[in-house]
Structure 1
């Protein structure tokens, strides 16, 4: 929750507590009037209050059945009315709260019928209208399946909208239209809303949007629409059933992204080649707790120069068994966490023990506590430093990883081709011998095979390279 700074505390000589303090809890050194858990059924009478300092009012956890129109309270900057389950909200209920910045209506079982356009109307005069000054609106944990078109029309200053934990399932046209009217919006939280896509053009008009939270939804791929949020700096995709992140998911239109959260993704298996190549401004990468993530392509960051920008890389608690030294400028990253992965401590991981581990111990010792080997069996459960001391990190073959992977696939394919050629050659030789024997028997001749002068001994070419 964004909190607005309070000034002019009511502690000066001669100051008195507000009248509402006879009903609610007030602390002389605080600017908050705490009316939580007071079994209130109506909003207390505030019409006579003359509070001359900025203050906040918390009416949460009561049984207020109707949110009626507040009287003029020009210095009220925060209003919390969560967990009251009101049956109605009066039109222009907040119109007299000229400087209200934060409005919290979360967890009230509200539906689209409760937030009509008129609910957020400001004051009107003959010559002008005065829209609300609200900058933070929390509608989380309600029962919205859609939002009425124009419901936010009177909130031109809104910077943060929280819709988390509402059963949207799909972003309807009216919902999209309502959100896209918020041209000042900087932060949008759509986590745990059940959505599986973002509609076409959804983020196009949100020119100031910097933070987008889509965590805990049903997205099966990175939404292409994020590339149209030109000001986006922080994207949270945690806990979505995305399986693969590949080239094209993030385009050059996402180059301003500074933080990317893709953790706790149960189906994520791989990060493909060039997947993050356009994220030129990336500072924080959170890619952890993905139990099926077993490969990050060595060129996932290809053409990206993160030496000056990348600050934190979180890769802990995945299924990674190896890590390429050239994938990132590891020594230049201030914070790296690769703990709790089933590391294969062969020659390909030796660089981690020799080069990266000393850096981690110097910068952030806590990130080295759970760096253990899973393979080979003789080193299972041992720390990387111990294996290095015992001259471990050996490879069973002379070859090791090349720039984009192992020689293994090449060796296997070469062996298969060699076997096919050997079998084919043997079959042709047997068939030729059979034909010659048949011809000799037919004419009663004794056929003897004699090697031609230009015929070489058969040999199997060595096709396994190191």
Structure 2
């Protein structure tokens, strides 16, 4: 703001130019000369703000001390602005260099010169901006910076150099900016980083190195200079792999972005160190399998993105160790075809699951999503799913369900899904409608508008169908069991039935005969006509005087002596 005693000073030329001489003509010449000298002297001591001029393409606010120059034709930095301005925004112009005119604005707190044509930054360009807190030079054509470029920016907290032509970072480039918290070097051509390039950045919280031409992850010694780093962006480079302990010194890291980094594999110890990591983006790489061993170190991870990779199967326990995982996205994985049972059995806190746009995904096994009590949002759109098991998830608990753009076969197996869509039609839950793909007569028909009969279901109640199936299975099993039992006991049953139809005496005699005949004799009795007829008895008197009867020997068998009885 202007000093209060000068805020009401009239704009325009000094007051002396309005002086009117009322003296005689004789003194006019002398007085005119005097006034001219006085006005010249006044111009020298008049504050610069009295001469401030706002370019036509800019908006200048002397109350908020903000100047904004939108798209225009400025090719140099204006020098006639209010010298007390605190925010200067000159975007999308044609400024090619920052000359000494910047020294007139020593009160700046915020400077944005993005989307211009800056090619070079002379040394000590910002030496008078000792109050500057944010500097945005993104999307220019700056090709080089050095440790002398940012001299004077001792309180700078944000430096944005994104979208320039930087190829390397020299030693101590940012050493004199110890208070910087965010440094954006993304979308450049950086292929070499001096081991001491980031020395002095002890307060750095966010670092962007994405979209460069790095072939390896920066060495751990480089990251050691930034112990408080919380967010690191390294995507869109050409790493191929991540070596063990690459981030071992980044204990405070909470967000790691490796999207599109060209990764084919990640070693088991690569992610060891940042134990507090909450967010990890590994999408758009070339991973052949889910890096289970590497991920297992991240016990506090809450959000994981793994889409657009080359794995074909998500196997059982693929995300073991991720106990706090709440959101998982696997989208656009063009080779993924199956999600197997127990794939997420270690992720009991999972709330949001996005498995969309996987064009070959035909199978999500029935127990793949089991044991997820907090699951509320499921997105399965744009896959190749033909049907889904009713027991896959507790569907009624979901707040979001999207099964659109799948070739669903509308038959009795999805009656439960039809009933779910109908029952939640009036609720606040976000259930996206399902369109039938097969059979052909139902193509593009909304599943929720089809009756059970149209789906080929004779019983509309799924529980009743299940009861009928159970009864049929039990009846079939009982009949089969009885048949096997009868077949196994057929000889005994036949003998029992034979003895029970008028031949009971014969049956008893035959059993008595079995007790006296040997096994060999019994087996051959049919050939020798081993009759069971009763033989006549011959009376005799025992030595004790009692009358006894002796049976006629059968087929030449010797009589049994009395002494043996």
Aligned residues of 2:254 and 2:279 also touching (Cα < 8 A): yes
Comparing 61-70 and 323-332, the one that deviates more: 61-70
1:334 aligned onto 2:403: no
**What's the CA shift for 1:394?**
1.4
Give the SS at the match of 2:424: helix
Match for residue 438 of structure 2 among 375, 384, 387: 375
Aligned residues of 2:399 and 2:430 also touching (Cα < 8 A): no
Match for residue 210 of structure 2 among 140, 147, 162: 140
**What's the CA shift for 1:103?**
0.7
Match for residue 165 of structure 1 among 236, 249, 261: 236
* Correspondence for 2:224: 153
* Correspondence for 2:121: 42
Cα distance change of structure 1 residues 339 and 219 upon mapping to structure 2, 3 Å threshold: same
Match for residue 375 of structure 2 among 305, 310, 325: 310
Counterparts of 2:168 and 2:278 in 1: how far apart (Å)? 33
Counterparts of 1:350 and 1:29 in 2: how far apart (Å)? 67
* Correspondence for 1:271: 339
Counterparts of 1:299 and 1:183 in 2: how far apart (Å)? 37
**What's the CA shift for 1:239?**
0.4
How many residue pairs were aligned?
A: 375
Which string of whole-angstrom CA distances, capped at 9 and with x for unpartnered residues, describes residues 224-266 of structure 1?
2111211111111010111111112122x11211111111111
Counterparts of 1:191 and 1:11 in 2: how far apart (Å)? 41
* Correspondence for 1:82: 162
Give the SS at the match of 1:385: helix
Counterparts of 2:309 and 2:396 in 1: how far apart (Å)? 31
Cα distance change of structure 1 residues 295 and 40 upon mapping to structure 2, 3 Å threshold: same
Counterparts of 1:150 and 1:374 in 2: how far apart (Å)? 57
* Correspondence for 2:549: none
Give the SS at the match of 1:205: coil
**What's the CA shift for 1:395?**
5.7
* Correspondence for 2:177: 97
Unaligned runs of 5+ in 1: 1-8, 123-130, 411-466
Counterparts of 1:91 and 1:385 in 2: how far apart (Å)? 66
Aligned residues of 1:67 and 1:88 also touching (Cα < 8 A): no
* Correspondence for 1:240: 309
1:394 aligned onto 2:473: no
**What's the CA shift for 1:30?**
9.3
* Correspondence for 1:323: 388
* Correspondence for 2:195: 117
**What's the CA shift for 1:277?**
1.4
Give the SS at the match of 2:214: coil
Cα distance change of structure 1 residues 10 and 366 upon mapping to structure 2, 3 Å threshold: farther
Match for residue 411 of structure 2 among 346, 370, 373: 346
Counterparts of 1:102 and 1:363 in 2: how far apart (Å)? 41
Which string of whole-angstrom CA distances, capped at 9 and with x for unpartnered residues, describes residues 155-214 of structure 1?
10111111111011122x4xx444222111111111112212111211222211111111
Cα distance change of structure 1 residues 293 and 18 upon mapping to structure 2, 3 Å threshold: same
Match for residue 220 of structure 1 among 284, 288, 293: 288
Which string of whole-angstrom CA distances, capped at 9 and with x for unpartnered residues, describes residues 411-450 of structure 1?
xxxxxxxxxxxxxxxxxxxxxxxxxxxxxxxxxxxxxxxx
Give the SS at the match of 1:119: coil
Comparing 30-39 and 236-245, the one that deviates more: 30-39
Comparing 180-189 and 159-168, the one that deviates more: 180-189
* Correspondence for 2:275: 207
Counterparts of 1:169 and 1:242 in 2: how far apart (Å)? 16
Give the SS at the match of 1:228: coil
Counterparts of 1:230 and 1:10 in 2: how far apart (Å)? 52
Counterparts of 1:313 and 1:55 in 2: how far apart (Å)? 41
Unaligned runs of 5+ in 2: 1-61, 67-81, 474-565
Q: Please give the TM-score of this superposition, normalised by the length of structure 2.
A: 0.60
Cα distance change of structure 1 residues 88 and 354 upon mapping to structure 2, 3 Å threshold: closer
Match for residue 319 of structure 2 among 222, 247, 250: 250
**What's the CA shift for 1:360?**
5.3
* Correspondence for 2:77: none
Cα distance change of structure 1 residues 356 and 81 upon mapping to structure 2, 3 Å threshold: same
- Which protein, 1 or 2, shows the higher relative CO under an 8 Å CA cutoff with sep ≥ 6? 1
Counterparts of 2:423 and 2:377 in 1: how far apart (Å)? 17
* Correspondence for 2:330: 262
Aligned residues of 1:95 and 1:132 also touching (Cα < 8 A): no
Larger Rg: 2
Aligned residues of 1:258 and 1:282 also touching (Cα < 8 A): yes
**What's the CA shift for 1:38?**
2.9
Which string of whole-angstrom CA distances, capped at 9 and with x for unpartnered residues, describes residues 40-98 of structure 1?
3125711001326x434234322332344422424422211123223443322212223
Counterparts of 1:340 and 1:87 in 2: how far apart (Å)? 45
**What's the CA shift for 1:292?**
0.9
